Amino acid sequence: MAMPPFRLTMWMMMKTRTLAIALALTLAACGQPNDSQAQDGVFAENRVVPGDALAMKSSFAPVVRTAAPAVVNISARGVQQVRDPFWGIPGQRQTGSVGSGVIVRPDGVVVTNNHVIAGMQQIRVTLNDRREFNARVVLADERSDIAVLQLEDVNERLPTLDIDDREEQQIGDLVLAIGNPFGVGQTVTNGIISALNRTETGISDSGSFIQTDAAINPGNSGGALVDMDGDLIGINTAIFSRSGSSSGVGFAVPASMVKRVVDSAVGGATVVVRPWLGVKGEAVSAEIARSLDMDRPQGLVVTEVWPNGPGARAGLREGDVITAVDGAEVNDQAGLNFRVGTRAPNEAVEVTVLRDGRTQTLNARVQPLPGNASTENATVVRSGVLSGAQVLALNPALADSLGGDPFASGVIVGRVQRGSYASRSVGLQAGDIILTVNGRSVTSVQQLADVGRGSELTINRRGQRISGVIR
Q: Is there a contact between 210 and 251 (Cβ–Cβ < 8 Å)?
A: yes
CA–CA dist 301, 281 (Å, integer): 5
Q: What is the DSSP letter of 344?
A: P
Q: Is 87 exposed, middle or buried (0-12, 13-18, 19+ CB in 10 A)?
A: exposed
CA–CA dist 72, 219 (Å, integer): 12
**Burial 284-313, CB ≥16 within 10 A → b, else e:** beeeebeebebeeebbbbbeebbeebbbbe
Type of residue at 213: D
CA–CA dist 313, 306 (Å, integer): 10
Q: What is the DSSP letter of 447?
A: G
Within 295-432, strands assigned E span: 300-305, 321-325, 328-329, 348-355, 358-365, 367-368, 379-380, 389-393, 411-416
Phi, psi of 406 (to 5 degrees): -60, -20
Catalytic residue among 75, 97, 145, 405: 145
Active site residue 245: no
Q: State the angle between helix axes of 333-341 and 255-266 in degrees (0 to 180), rounded to the nearest 10.
A: 40
Question: Which residues partner with 189 through β-bridges?
Answer: 177
365 CB neighbour count, 10 Å cutoff = 15
Strand (E) or helix (H) holding 254 = strand 250-254
Q: Is 142 exposed, middle or buried (0-12, 13-18, 19+ CB in 10 A)?
A: middle
For 129, left (φ over 0), alpha (ψ -120 to 50), or beta? alpha
Distant-in-sequence, close-in-space partners of 287: CB < 8 Å, separation ≥ 6: none
Active site residue 145: yes
Catalytic residue among 58, 115, 173, 246: 115
Positions annotated as catalytic residues are: 115, 145, 221
